[in-house]
Structure 1
Amino acid sequence: MKAVVVDRFGPLEQLRVAELPDPTPGPGEVVLDVHAAGVNYPDALMVQGQYQIKPPLPFTPGAEAAGIVSAVGEGVRHLKVGDHAATFTGTGAFAEKLLAPAAQVTPLPPGFSFDIAASLTLAYGTSYHALVNRAQLQAGETLLVLGAAGGVGLAAVMIGKALGARVIAAASSEEKLALTRQHGADETINYASEDLRARLKELTGGQGPNVVYDPVGGDYTEAAFRSVAWGGRYLVVGFANGEIPRLPLNLPLLKGASLVGVFWGEFARRDPRANVANLTQLARWVGDGTIRPVISERYTLEQAPEALRALLERRVTGKVTLVP
Structure 2
Amino acid sequence: MSEMRASAEATVTVTEVLLPGKVAPSGLRLVRRALPAPAAGQARVRVESTAVSFAERAMSRGRYYGQPPFPFVPGYDLVGVVEAVGPGVDPALVGRRVAALTKTGGWTTAALLTAADLVEVPDGIDPDEAETLIVNGLTAYQMLHRSAKARAGQTVLVLGAAGGVGSVLVQLAQDAGARVIGTASPRHHQALRALGVEPIDYRDPDLAARVRELAPGGVDAVFDHLGGASASLSYRLLNRSGTLVSYSIAAKLDDTRPLLLDFLPLLAKLTFWNYLPTRRHATFYDVWAGAGKPDSAKREAFRSRMRTDLTHLFGLLRDGVLTARIAARFPLDEVVAAMELAESSARTDLGKIILTP
TM-score by length of 1: 0.90
Q: Shift of residue 180 of structure 1?
A: 2.1
Alpha-carbon distance change, 239 to 177 in structure 1, aligned in 2, over 3 angstroms: farther
**2:222 partner letter:** V
Equivalent residue number for residue 65 of structure 1:
78
Could you tell me which of 217, 226, 233 is aligned with 2:243?
A: 233
Q: Shift of residue 96 of structure 1?
A: 0.8
1:192 is aligned to 2:203: yes
CA distance in 2, matches of 1:80, 1:272: 17
Contact (CA 8 Å) 1:267, 1:275: kept in 2 or not? Answer: no
Contact (CA 8 Å) 2:132, 2:325: kept in 1 or not? Answer: no
Most deviating of 176-185 and 93-102: 176-185
CA distance in 1, matches of 2:75, 2:245: 25
Contact (CA 8 Å) 1:232, 1:255: kept in 2 or not? Answer: no
Alpha-carbon distance change, 250 to 81 in structure 1, aligned in 2, over 3 angstroms: closer
Equivalent residue number for residue 318 of structure 1:
351
Equivalent residue number for residue 285 of structure 2:
262
**1:172 partner letter:** S
Unmatched segments (≥5 aa) in structure 1: none
RMSD: 2.4
Could you tell me which of 31, 41, 45 is aligned with 2:58?
A: 45
1:28 is aligned to 2:41: yes
Could you tell me which of 178, 181, 186 is aligned with 2:190?
A: 178
Task: Compare CA radii of gyration and give the structure with the larger one.
Answer: 2
Alpha-carbon distance change, 252 to 150 in structure 1, aligned in 2, over 3 angstroms: farther
| 1:229-283 alpha-carbon deviations (Å, 9 max, x no partner) | 1111011011222265866957983764221110012245542212211112111
Alpha-carbon distance change, 79 to 213 in structure 1, aligned in 2, over 3 angstroms: farther
1:213 is aligned to 2:223: yes
Could you tell me which of 297, 309, 312 is aligned with 1:278?
A: 309
Equivalent residue number for residue 162 of structure 1:
175
CA distance in 2, matches of 1:252, 1:147: 28
Structure-to-structure mapping, 1:65-144, within 5 angstroms:
65-77=78-90, 79-144=92-157
Q: Shift of residue 200 of structure 1?
A: 1.4
Percent identical pairs in the alignment equals 31
TM-score by length of 2: 0.83
**1:188 partner letter:** P
Alpha-carbon distance change, 251 to 134 in structure 1, aligned in 2, over 3 angstroms: closer
Equivalent residue number for residue 318 of structure 2:
287
SS at match of 1:281: helix
CA distance in 2, matches of 1:182, 1:87: 31
Alpha-carbon distance change, 133 to 250 in structure 1, aligned in 2, over 3 angstroms: closer
